[in-house]
Amino acid sequence: MIVKMAGAMSVALFSATLAMAAGNPEAGRVKSEACLGCHGIPSYNNVYPTYHVPKLSGQQADYLVAALKAYRDGQRQHGTMSAQAFDMTDADMADIAAFWQAQGG
Ligand code: HEC
């Protein structure tokens, strides 16, 4: 899934990298509280009903920012994640991505 997406994301990733300031992982921890119910579970399944949720811990910050921008800007369609991302600023995304990257694999 990640491999398949790599091509589609590379353009977004490139522009995100150029524009991105380094995020603050501590600010990102607070901003990520709403994500933990789905993305914080060790088995990477949602609590109810069980469905697969992608692993965020240890992902590259650049990748996470590119994914969040794709949800926000409608390049990537997913009801829940579009709703999560629609009011995020670029700085929010950088902070959140820095937090998740720092969680390790
Ligand atoms: C209700 C459950 C839920 C919540 C809450 C949630 N997510 Fe997600 N998230 C998902 C699901 C399901 C997907 C897979 C969507 C898809 O197939 O595109 C996903 C995908 C993602 C991806 C793409 C991962 C990848 O490998 O491509 C990122 C990044 C992400 N979420 C970040 C967040 C952040 C940051 C928050 C909190 C602000 C959050 N999510 C809150 C369920 C959730």
**What is the pLDDT, as a whole number, of residue 94?**
97
Q: Pick from 84, 88, 96 the residue to mutate for probing ligand 1's pocket: most ligand atoms within 8 Å of its CB.
A: 84
pLDDT (tens place) for every residue of the chain, 105 residues total: 555 555 555 545 444 444 456 899 999 999 999 898 888 755 455 555 566 788 898 999 999 999 999 999 999 999 999 999 999 999 999 999 999 999 876
Please report, for the domain that includes residue 72, its CATH number.
1.10.760.10
Beta bridge partners of 52: 45
Burial grade of 16 (CB within 10 A; 0-12, 13-18, 19 or more): buried
Pocket lined around ligand 1, Cβ cut-off 6 Å: 2, 32, 34-35, 37-39, 46, 53-54, 56, 64, 67-68, 76, 78, 80-81, 84, 96
Alpha helices in 20-78 (DSSP H): 25-31, 36-39, 61-72
pTM recorded for the entire structure: 0.80
Q: Quick check: helix, strand or coil at residue 70?
A: helix
**What is the pLDDT, as a whole number, of residue 26?**
95
Domain of 93 in residue numbering reads as 2-101
Domain count within the chain: 1
